[in-house]
Amino acid sequence: MSRTKVAIIGSGNIGTDLMIKVLRGSEHLEVAAMIGIDPDSDGLARARRLKVATSADGGEGLIALDEFSDIEFVFDATSARAHRFHHDLLTGHGKRLVDLTPAAIGPYVVPPVNLGAHLDAANVNMVTCGGQATVPMVAAVSAVVPVTYAEIVASISSKSAGPGTRANIDEFTETTAHALEEVGGAALGKAIIVLNPAEPPLIMRDTVHCLVPDCDRDAVTASVHAMAEKVRAYVPGYRLKQEVQFVPVAAGDQAAKLAGLPNGGWHITIFLEVEGAAHYLPAYAGNLDIMTAAALRTAEHLATGRVAA
C-alpha cells in the first residue's frame, strides 16, 4: 500500500521533530515537503539533507512546489494567527489540515479519547501540549463520575517554549479549557500554564484537579491508570507521578458551591510527568513531544480511515 504524502508548515522545533518522527518509521505517511519562512532554519536545512522538498516562502511556497498536487495532509506547526491564513489557503485546494496550533478552527482531537470521531473533518485541532497531557485524565474521571469542574496546571521548561508557544499563551489557556469541557467531559474547565526557568531544565509536569460528587474511588483510579496506558502507547515518557489523590470536599465549601457541589464530594488530584522521546528535542521537552506524537497518531488514523473507506 502506498503511503499518504504529507507536508509540514513550520520549520521550528515542533515541525522538525514531527518530520523526524514521520521519517523514522511511519507506516502510512511520507513527508513530501517541509515549509518555513526562515531559509536558514535548522528544520529546512535538515529537510534538505534528508532529500525532502523545501520552501522558505510559507504557505504560498508550498502551493508552488511540484509536489503539492500529491500532498493530501498538511501539518501546521506555526502559530494560531498563521494557521487561520493557512486554513483558508489550503482547504481551498482540497488539502486536509492537522493543526498543532491552538487556533481551534476544526474539532478537537485527543487520540486516546476521540481519535475516530472526526475522520471526515477538513481540519482537526490537536488542542495544546497541556490539553494532550491532561484531557485524557479528565475524560478518565468523567467516564466514572460527572466532573463538575476541572482545572489543569501545565508546567514546562522555559527553554522548550519557543516563539510560537509564547505568542499563543492566551489561546493556550482558552483552547485547553474548552477541550477539558468538550472532549474531557467537564462541566467547566480552566487551564494555567507555567514557564519554568529552572536550570537544569525541568521535564514537563501537569497537575489535574477535578471536583466530583461522591463516587467509586477504586473505579476512578482504575480508569485513570487505564487511560495512562493508552497515552503511553504513543508517548512512552507519559507517567503518573503518584497514586490518584482523593480529598473530601466539606459541605458548604465555597469552591464546591461554585462548582455545583453544595453537599460535598471529592477533590481528585492527578500528578503527571511527560518525558520526551528525544528524537530531535531534548528529553525535558515532553510538552513538544506529546504534541508531535499525538499529531502523528491522528494523521495516521485519518490516512488509514480514508484508505479503509
234-282 per-position pLDDT tens digit: 999 999 999 999 999 876 676 666 667 767 789 999 999 999 999 999 9
3-class DSSP state for residue 98? strand
The dihedral over CA atoms of 79, 83, 84, 90, expressed in degrees to the nearest 10, equals 170
Q: Where are the domains of the chain?
A: 4-126+289-308, 129-286
The arithmetic mean of pLDDT across residues 86-96, rounded, is 96
For the cut 50, the answer to whether the pLDDT of residue 101 exceeds it is yes
Q: Are 4-126+289-308 and 129-286 in the same CATH fold?
A: no
Res. 2: pLDDT tops 70: yes
Tell the CATH topology of 4-126+289-308: Rossmann fold (3.40.50)
Annotated ligand binding at 123? The verdict is no
Q: Is 45 annotated in some ligand binding site? A: no
208: nearest Cα among 287, 133, 124: 133
Decide if 129 is catalytic. Answer: yes
Has 189 been labeled as part of a binding site? no
Is residue 26 annotated as involved in ligand binding?
A: no
What fold, for 129-286?
Dihydrodipicolinate Reductase; domain 2 (3.30.360)
Tally the C-alpha atoms within 13 A of residue 4's C-alpha that lie toward its C-beta. Answer: 22
Gap between the Cα atoms of 286 and 275, Å rounded: 5
Q: What is the pTM of this model?
A: 0.94
Tell whether residue 168 is among the known ligand binding residues.
yes
Which residues 6+ apart lie within 8 Å of 185 measured at CB? 138, 139, 142, 143, 146, 147
Phi/psi at 273 (nearest 5 deg)? -135, 140
pLDDT grade, residue 65 (50/70/90)?
A: very high
265 marked as part of a ligand binding site: no
Of residues 104, 129, 144, 293, which has the active-site annotation? Answer: 129
Instruction: Please state, for a pLDDT cut of 70, what percent of the chain lies above it.
Output: 95
Q: Which of 51-55, 156-160, 165-169, 177-181 has the lowest mean pLDDT?
A: 165-169
> What confidence score (pLDDT) does residue 309 get?
36
Categorize the per-residue pLDDT at 166 as very low, low, confident or very high, splitting at 50, 70 and 90: confident
Confidence band (pLDDT; 50, 70, 90) for 93?
A: very high
Query: How far apart (Å, rounded) are the C-alpha atoms in residues 199 and 243?
Result: 28
**Element of type H or E holding 75:** strand 73-76
- What is the C-alpha separation between 95 and 15, in angstroms, rounded? 18
- 166 in a labelled binding site: yes
User: What's the pLDDT score for residue 174?
Assistant: 97
Q: Considering the chain, what is the average pLDDT of its residues?
A: 94
